[in-house]
Amino acid sequence: MAGDLCRRAELHTSTRTHVQANFRSLRDSGITWLAMSGLGIDKIMRRAGHDGIQTTMGYVKQTEDLTGDLGQPFAPLPKELTSFGLFGFSV
């Protein structure tokens, strides 16, 4: 069942409203979530491996420009993802 989730066509195509996930998009999302969580710029910069603060500030500005309900950064996993049946174990 879990293997089927990775073979969904939506994960491997880009459209006008969806971007195919890749290492870079996941990395950018992680850095953006760090900025949203309120972590200090110096810590974000160190974790991201940025040489200059201007690169990190781009993520901070992007976060400041976001509006609406974006969810909780690093929220707990939904129960469906941690239940015994999905991967054969419980968290």
pLDDT digits (tens, 9 = 90+) for 1-19: 455 556 777 777 778 877 7
Give me the DSSP letters along the chain: -HHHHTT-GGGG---SS-----HHHHHHHHHHHHHHTT--HHHHHHHHT-SSHHHHHHHHHHHHH--S----TTPPPPHHHHSHHHHSS--
- pTM for the model: 0.57
Sorted by where each begins, the domain ranges of the chain are 23-65
Asked if residue 37 lies in contact with residue 74, where contact means CB atoms within 8 angstroms, the answer is yes
| Predicted confidence (pLDDT) per residue in 52-63, tens digit | 999 999 988 888
* Whole-number Å distance between alpha carbons of 33 and 29: 6
